[in-house]
């Protein structure tokens, strides 16, 4: 079963998801990678407002390539999420409800997800061109000087992902390691 989720993400919607569930996202997703997260933290440190409404937001750790003719975005595969772990707990506590990327997260991020009822989703690495076909529109909304790492507002339809860390702290990466070790002991 695939959960159809309309963004922005709510706590109620996040609470229905469990690690390993398939989701199909429709609505607004913001892209932000390392450099954008540094800038967001600098704004917060200076007491300035963020350039996006973080409340209920979904941030995709990706930087799309220029769009080919007929597409809103070019290839848009996920980057390694742990690179944003320095900023994620702070943003989650400010209302960020959904992160999308690839790879395991730190204990601090998992704790913030559980504490705030958020969710972390995994997008398929290596499928950036296919994921781009799910982007209806894209516009740069902050830090254009960062090029591919600028924050973009994407409108997506039926964007596929898998729940990697659910709002209770269930984690497919930890479960995978446990299953592997259990099988190895047999």
The whole-number average pLDDT for the span 112-134 is 93
Q: Of 33, 37, 39, 134, which residue is the catalytic one? A: 37
| Tokens of residue 169, six digits | 């702290």
* pLDDT tens-digit series, residues 6-34: 999 999 999 999 999 999 999 999 999 99
* pLDDT tens-digit series, residues 135-148: 999 999 999 999 99
CATH number, domain of 130, equals: 3.20.130.10
Residue 15 domain boundaries: 2-185
| Tokens of residue 140, six digits | 């740069």
Into how many domains does the chain fold?
1
Q: How far apart are CA 120 and CA 162, in angstroms?
A: 9
Active site residue 3: no
* pLDDT tens-digit series, residues 102-117: 999 999 999 999 999 9
Rg for the chain (alpha carbons), in Å?
16
Q: How far apart are CA 150 and CA 145, in angstroms?
A: 7
* pLDDT tens-digit series, residues 81-94: 999 999 999 999 99
């Amino acid at each position: 079963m695939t959960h159809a989720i309309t963004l922005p993400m709510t706590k109620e919607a996040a609470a229905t998801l469990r690690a390993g569930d398939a989701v199909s996202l429709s609505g607004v997703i913001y892209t932000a990678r390392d450099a954008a997260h540094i800038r967001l933290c600098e704004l917060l440190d200076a007491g300035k407002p963020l350039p996006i409404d973080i409340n209920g937001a979904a941030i995709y750790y990706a930087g799309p390539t220029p769009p080919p003719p007929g597409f809103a975005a070019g290839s848009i595969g996920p980057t390694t999420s742990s690179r944003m772990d320095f900023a994620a707990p702070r943003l989650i506590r400010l209302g960020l409800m959904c992160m999308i990327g690839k790879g395991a997260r730190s204990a601090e991020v998992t704790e913030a997800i559980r504490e705030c009822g958020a969710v972390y989703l995994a997008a398929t690495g290596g499928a950036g061109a296919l994921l781009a076909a799910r982007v209806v529109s894209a516009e740069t909304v902050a830090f254009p000087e960062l090029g591919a790492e600028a924050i973009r507002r994407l409108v997506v339809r039926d964007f596929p992902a898998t729940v990697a860390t659910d709002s209770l702290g269930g984690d497919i990466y930890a479960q995978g390691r446990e299953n592997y070790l259990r099988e190895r002991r047999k």
